[in-house]
Structure 1
Amino acid sequence: MDRFDNGRSLSPIRQAEAYWTALLNRDSVPMRSQIDPRGLENILEYTFILERIAPGLARFRLAGSHLNALAGMEVRGMPLTAFFQPDDRAGIKDVLEQVFAAPAVAELGMTSGGVLGRTPMQARMILLPLKSDLGDVSRVLGVMIADGAIGKTPRRFSISDTRIKMVSDIHVQIPVKPTPAHGFAEVEGKFKHPAKHLRLIVSRDD
């Protein structure tokens, strides 16, 4: 699952997933404003941000150069469905709606056929939900990475497999304050001023 058939690593997807998970607060998804490009700088060419525009529909707000190369044009403002074959667009709409409504994380395997001057291509995409400044889940941090010669563009893909994971099912490590060991704990008591128990001793040795 972490490599294409030819062994190419899917580490950009795993890096984005780890970055997003680190921003999780229990089962509450991160805010769009929390996403810092510096935390993703080595995978920015594969990274994108989506904005929900209708049920099951989202458009690109930002997209890296890898996605532009696959489309053969600037994809900003285009719907995510533009990357999919007509028969698969209903499927990606259903996946998107689960990501926004559940919310959930979705990971998709994709293929592009080798016809009309194109060689067969594999791709993988992850969709990680985000909140807008208004607090609604209407943004997505995503990564898409394709393996193979791009050839004639635009490249459109079919969905080969889908994995959906509810955000509420993702285990988040919550730091726990250490409790003092009982053997070293001191019993709290009322402080007694020592003055009433002292007496002055005068030396007569001179």
Structure 2
Amino acid sequence: MRNFFGNCPGSRKGKIVAMERFRSGRSLSPIRQAEAYWTALLTGDGVPKRADIDPRGLENILEYTFILERIAPGIARFRLAGNHLCQLAGMEVRGMPLTAFFTASARKEVETMLERLFDAPAIGEVEVTSKQPLGRARLEARMILLPLKSDLGDVSRILGVLVADGMPDKTPCKFALDQCRIRDLASIQQKRADQQQPVTGFAEEQGTFERPATHLRLVISRDD
């Protein structure tokens, strides 16, 4: 991703979490990898900061990744976007609103979802289907939206990943919203805390330590 993922040496120093840490078997999907990366950056203060996101930790999913900025109620525009998104749109998407990827009938739902993600804050995960001209194959895609704080401390950024199962023939993609799942930050933090609790189900009870006697008695044994 240009201007974000191409300037690693000069980027801000922060907490770098490598994606390889989360792989199981061959690989996790880009959606799950992004969520694992974001979750690893969670702190007691809430959602991660935009400055915490380091491209070196996302290097194997950069083409699907993007950053959104909230500019008005229900409206968030692309600050940065990977090649996969540009190919779906048929153009450079920086500066465009997220709703540009959706049909007119789906845009109000997307705006409502964005407000919930920023205000709660919360994670959004959606399944979409492209509205293709008659005779052309329809595309299915999934997207995850992960809230971030700006340098000012307000939740006004989103780290996102969009993965489609193919590419449009010629015309840009417009997606209809099929399913939307929203998870509040509080439930995610609680789940993470539960996972970090030590497992004690099979541990033996600890015995009490008794202080040895301070006086010793010498016993001498003689053979008869």
Query: Structure 2 length as normaliser, TM-score?
Result: 0.73
Cα distance, 1:115 vs. partner?
1.1
Matches of 1:13 and 1:185 in 2, distance apart?
A: 54
Match of 1:198 in 2: none
Matches of 1:168 and 1:185 in 2, distance apart?
A: 44
Residues 75-127 of structure 1, C-alpha deviations (whole Å, 9 max, x = no match): 00100000000000000000100110000000000001331574210011000
Cα distance, 1:151 vs. partner?
1.0
Aligned match of 2:160 in 118, 137, 142? 142
Match of 2:192 in 1: 172
Do residues 105 (structure 1) and 130 (structure 2) align? no
Do residues 20 (structure 1) and 44 (structure 2) align? no
8 Å contact from structure 2 (residues 99, 110) kept in 1: yes
Aligned match of 1:60 in 57, 62, 78? 78
User: Alignment identity in percent?
Assistant: 63
8 Å contact from structure 1 (residues 81, 89) kept in 2: yes
Report which stretch shifted further, 116-125 or 39-48: 116-125
8 Å contact from structure 1 (residues 117, 152) kept in 2: no
Report which stretch shifted further, 73-82 or 118-127: 118-127
Name the SS for the 1:81 alignment partner: helix
Matches of 1:102 and 1:88 in 2, distance apart?
A: 21
Please list every run of 5 or more consecutive structure 1 residues that lacks an aligned counterpart in the other structure: 1-8, 187-206
Match of 1:201 in 2: none
Do residues 159 (structure 1) and 158 (structure 2) align? no
Match of 1:80 in 2: 98
Matches of 1:49 and 1:117 in 2, distance apart?
A: 34
Letter in 2 for 1:173: A
Matches of 1:112 and 1:141 in 2, distance apart?
A: 22
**Shift in alpha-carbon separation, 1:10–1:156, aligned structure 2, 3 A:** farther
Bigger relative contact order (CA 8 A; separation at least 6): 1
Query: Structure 1 length as normaliser, TM-score?
Result: 0.79
Residues 129-149 of structure 1, C-alpha deviations (whole Å, 9 max, x = no match): 000000000000000000124
Letter in 2 for 1:125: M
Please list every run of 5 or more consecutive structure 2 residues that lacks an aligned counterpart in the other structure: 1-26, 199-205, 212-224
